[in-house]
Amino acid sequence: MIEDKLGIRLINSGFRRMDSNVGGIYLFYRDDDSDIKIISVINMQAGIELTDEQYRHILRQVKASFAVGLKRINLLNIFFAAQPEKVKSLCAEATEDSHWIIDCSANRLIIYETQADDFFGLKAVIEELLAREQEAGLPYEGLTPDFAGASIRQRRPSWGERSRTLQISPVNLVVVLINVVVFIVFQSTHLFGGKNQVIEAGGLSWYLVKEAGQVYRIISSMFLHADISHLFNNMLLLLFIGSILERVAGKVRYLIIYFASGIIAAISSMGYNMLREYGKVMNERIAISIGASGAIFGVVGSILFIIIVSRGRLEYIGFRQIVLFIVLSLYNGYANAQIDQAAHIGGFLAGFILTALLYSVKKFSVFLNDE
């Protein structure tokens, strides 16, 4: 029957099926880099009426179970109905979601003018399946739903999904590898004069940026590390939390947050050191900062914001873990004079605020898909 054939097409397109605790209501979802596509199937073949309030309640539950991070939720609701007029009121109203009807008695798709005319190419798929059913002269056979106590179960990832979440995200991995390669080439060989010369040439110095115009140091310093321990600690943390942020926020937004936080962290560091060292113009007396920790703290701040707006539903890392990490890291910076605390604080605040801005823009439907 068409319901099964449609489900097979969706699964072949990368969707996963999730059953509800109500017969006749189930979901197909696909978690992409920038959005989550959800198709809810509501089988009303038995002619049982669903009030507007019940329907809206179901939609809210569906969205709430998938509302994680900055990803946009694209929701399509498909009614399989023998009497389309009984669900017309639910599908004709203009809302942010899409509502279609498959008229099982006539094998036709009904989309009202107030609804989206397509859903990522699905309209053509449904019309093709309906045409084949009509040509074969097959009657529609559906399921009998039971709406008593209708609700949608909270989505829980399978072990396979958890494994994918724990996998390293590609863009974040590239950032980590660039840091590793830079460390090996610049500090373990003499192609560029050796370790000390590279740090002096690319490290962050407020005096050389301000007086000599060497603005490139703001970026180059983000890829330099003092030793293997410095590199290992930073990259291990970035490998973990950077992958989480990329999967939740998407590739482009991850890069925006990472580099913008790193730049703001560098500006914070320069501002602090300039106030502390103003008048000390000898190079050997001017602080030089290196490391990716400012940008990494931006990723931490971003994840903290996402956890707050997601009410703690972000997988594998929670509010307590992030807060504990921040407190321990700031204390370590306070206790260790060699750690650039200003960069840490600046990067963290930058990541938090940038994510809040991206979230508010996306929330008001101005932030378009960028993947």
Catalytic residues: 293, 344
State the angle between helix axes of 341-363 and 251-277 in degrees (0 to 180), rounded to the nearest 10.
140
304 burial class (0-12, 13-18, 19+ CB within 10 angstroms)?
Answer: buried
In DSSP terms, which residues pair with 36 in a beta bridge? 31, 73
**Closest to 56 (Cα-Cα) out of 27, 22, 90, 23:** 90
Task: List Cβ<8 Å contacts ≥24 apart for 86-95.
Answer: 86/44, 86/47, 86/49, 87/44, 87/50, 88/112, 89/52, 90/50, 90/52, 90/55, 91/115
In 3-state terms, what secondary structure has residue 136?
Answer: helix
| Sheet-wide strand order for 35-44 | 16-19, 25-31, 35-44, 72-81, 98-103, 108-110
State the greatest distance between any 2 C-alpha atoms of the chain, in Å, as a whole number. 89
What's the token pair of residue 115? 């609804």
CB atoms within 10 A of CB 295: 28
User: What phi, psi does 77 have (nearest 5°)?
Assistant: -110, 125
Say if residues 261 and 347 touch (Cβ distance below 8 Å).
yes
Say if residues 292 and 179 touch (Cβ distance below 8 Å).
yes
The per-residue DSSP string of 326-358 comes to HHHHHHHHHH-TTS-HHHHHHHHHHHHHHHHHH
- What separation, in Å, do the N-terminal and C-terminal C-alpha atoms of the chain show? 35
Q: What CA–CA distance (Å, rounded) separates 179 from 184?
A: 9
Say if residues 100 and 77 touch (Cβ distance below 8 Å).
yes
Query: From its phi and psi, is residue 356 left (phi > 0), alpha (psi between -120 and 50) or beta?
Result: alpha
